[in-house]
Chain A
Amino acid sequence: MLRAGLIASVLAAGLGLAAPALAQNTVYIPAILELSGPGAVSGTNFRDGMLLAIEEINAKGGILGKKIDTPILDTQSDAGISRAQIQKVIDNKPYVIIGPVYSGSVLVDMALAAQNEIPEIVGGEAAAITQKGNKYVFRTSFGQQFSMPKIANYIRDGVKAKTVSLLWVNNDFGKGGRDTFKKEMEKRNIKIVADISSESGQTDFSADVVKIKAANADAIFVYLNEEESARFLREAKKQGIKAPLIGETTLLGQKVIDLAQGAAEGVKGHVGLTVDAPVPAVKAFAERFKKKFNYVCDHNGIKGYTAVYFIKYVTEKMGKFDSKLFAQTLHGLTITPKEEPGVLMEATFDQNGDIDRESFLGQVVNGKQKIVEVLPKLGNSK
């Protein structure tokens, strides 16, 4: 039996199922991200922002003298695989976990992280994430229950629309946004005259655009992922849609503007995070990012970058590495760029792990996103 056990453990090590020993002078903060599959654009941006922050922090000696050790594990944009990967990193006793970005993956992972009392800083925006009473999950951007009211106000006050057409992508992200948006529209007595769902990865939007045209609404709200947004915009231009196209962050992102090849001109909307924000620290970050990775960072890059600095700030405030205390400390905490320049913009975490920041109203002008108005933090306006 002993011999069989010995052989088994040697084999287990050989199979790569056993954990590697970790060095003492590093802190283990693994990242679980969408590096392949439909989430690859978001996941890669998030990863590169994160890597930039880690490089900067490690160059200055790390956190409390420990270098950050961040292996990156790909989820293939699949919840089942992300479930396996989070189990893998939890076996190695992480301090904090970063990612994933896809809300479905976040929902399955965060339960496991909470069971093991390990904080998880995620990129997911689905409303449900912070509504389950999980004490270990923290966002890096607005949840839909924060962004949709801002969009709804803009459609009512800015666009002055009485009717609206809605186009959304039928995955957990799109569905969550659509459900929240619908509620907000009802509250404001704005009628949804067309409610159109589309497929993730859809290439042909001609039928959807025909339907939208037929509905003839005062405004059109588009809630799709990056590549689909661009394909839709090109089709909308081709069929000559005249009503204003309104989006939430993604539709006004640089990646979409580039892919749409001019068809994004005039698109308006609310932007949670953007490298075009009139904030010097964000602009400086965007330049460093462009220099290192040779492309323009989107909002997911900022999410990844600030996630690492949140960890650094909280840990230095506590003066030690304590996962449980980390979660307690971050709840209700406000971090200003004065205290930690790496967070770029002032951010407040509430008791559910939701984040509150300033946000922006923007418009696409000459192939660039232009910010026309800065919206205050929700906490200040309430």
Chain B
Amino acid sequence: MSRLGAVVVIAAAIFAVVLPFFLKPFGLYLISMWAVLTVAAIGLNLTLGYAGQVSLAQGAFVGIGAYTVGLLLPIGVPFPIAFVAAGLLCFVVGWILGYPALRVQHHYLAFVTLAFNTLVFLVLRNEEWLTGGTYGINGTPRPTLLGWSTNKPLDFYFLCLGAMVVLAAATWWMLRSPWGRAFVALRENPIRALSLGLDTRRYTLMAFAIGSSLGGLSGALYAPLVQFIEPNSFALGMSFNLLLMVIVGGGGYFFGPFLGALVAVLLPEWMRVTQDYYLMVYAALIMVMMAFCPSGLLGLVDRVGRRLRSGEQGPAAAAFEPQSTPP
């Protein structure tokens, strides 16, 4: 990471810690939602952005995680155990879902995962004895950890932020390990990876399992955040939204999901000033964004940065004048 990049990340970190003290509960709810969804988007970024496996089932894993916690907490299981259980369960299910990925790729794989998401939705809705069906689960309590009650919005935000930072750091470490390189090799040229002795089969399953377990951990925070879960929240809409976060932020960039989740959570809220048209304006903005930076926001930053370094001052670079001081 460049020095400028490090400065930006540190500034963002300070901001994430200081800002909440100036927010009302609604603002806190939104940034908590941002932290929670970022975790799921990091997971999807791993599967899709790094390992190149198209998954439209991340929402289903958030759902599995949310229901795991929603069902375990009321019967007296402590939150940390329920949290880990949600991650483990999704790891196993994700591993199994990875098997089709060994046989099909790209849009075929997208359809397999899409079907899986619908399957999970139907199970959540129809297995009433377990999940409560369409009524969902109401009032999941916010946990108390070592005497620290996270019932207040500010405390709960810091729990979400803390979980996000820890999980993001673990992912960062993993991506810099041989595993991370293996994932990228899988995306770039699977045949070559295989010929170099990489066990592509195992790494494909791993990419799915780890990405999915991050989805589950995100869900484990989602349930106590919203305090109401129902099958509809984890239908295809959620998966598409998470996919949008990864792509808008920049797939394959580590910080892409952070930015993408910020856009997907906050942009519709800002657009509410346009009243009845807010969803239309939001959709139009996303389309424009994708037309001008198909590699996502960080892809754009990257392109501009590279152009500046190589000395060609293109029109796109000129638009970013304030950042043009060379690092």
Q: B-contacting residues of A (Cβ < 8 Å)?
A: 1, 4-5, 8-9, 11-12, 15-19, 35-36, 73-74, 76, 78-80, 83-84, 87-88, 90-91, 104, 107-108, 111, 128, 170-172, 174-176
Contacts and interface: CB of A to CB of B under 8 A. Distances in A.
Given A12-B19, A83-B226, A76 B232 contact: no
B92 interface: no
A180 B226 CA distance: 28
B14 interface: yes
Interface in B262-312: 266, 269-270, 272-273, 276, 278-279
A74 B271 CA distance: 12
A78 B33 CA distance: 15
A16 B270 contact: yes
A122 to B, nearest CB: 15
27 contacts: A1-B18, A8-B22, A12-B23, A15-B27, A16-B269, A16-B270, A16-B272, A16-B273, A17-B24, A17-B30, A18-B23, A19-B24, A78-B232, A79-B228, A79-B232, A80-B233, A83-B228, A84-B29, A84-B30, A104-B136, A104-B232, A107-B228, A108-B227, A111-B138, A111-B139, A170-B125, A172-B135
Provide the main secondary structure of the chain A interface: helix
Given A83-B226, A111-B227, A172-B230, 19 more contacts: A5-B21, A5-B22, A8-B22, A17-B23, A17-B27, A18-B22, A36-B279, A74-B279, A78-B237, A83-B29, A83-B228, A84-B30, A91-B24, A91-B25, A104-B134, A108-B227, A174-B134, A175-B134, A176-B135
Instruction: For the complex of A and B, list the 10 residue pairs with the smallest distance between their C-beta atoms, beginning with the closest.
Output: A17-B27, A108-B228, A88-B26, A91-B24, A9-B22, A87-B26, A175-B134, A8-B19, A172-B134, A91-B26
Contact of B26 (A84, A104, A170): A84
Contacts of B21: 5, 8
Nearest to B238: A80
B219 to A, nearest CB: 12
A250 B230 CA distance: 24
A87 B19 CA distance: 18
Contacts of B232: 78-79, 104, 171
Contacts of A111: 138-139, 227
Given A16-B270, A17-B24, A84-B33, A74 B226 contact: no
What class of interface size applies to chain B in its complex with A? 35 or more
* Secondary structure dominating the interface of B: helix
B18 A5 contact: yes
A70 B292 CA distance: 38
Contact of B134 (A11, A90, A171): A171
A84 B279 CA distance: 16
Contacts of A76: 279
Contacts of B133: 175
B29 A87 contact: yes
A19 B227 CA distance: 24
B279 A73 contact: no
B15 interface: yes
The winner among A5, A8, A128, A176 for most chain B CB atoms within 10 A is A8
Contacts of B125: 170
B18 A4 contact: yes
Contacts of A74: 272, 278-279
Contact of A15 (B29, B136, B270): B270
A79 B22 contact: no
Interface string B1-42: 000000000000011001101111111011001000000000
Given A78-B232, A84-B29, A107 B138 contact: yes
Contacts of B15: 8, 11
Given A5-B22, A8-B19, A80-B226, A128 B135 contact: yes
A199 to B, nearest CB: 10
Nearest to A87: B26
Nearest to A16: B270
B25 A90 contact: yes
B307 to A, nearest CB: 29
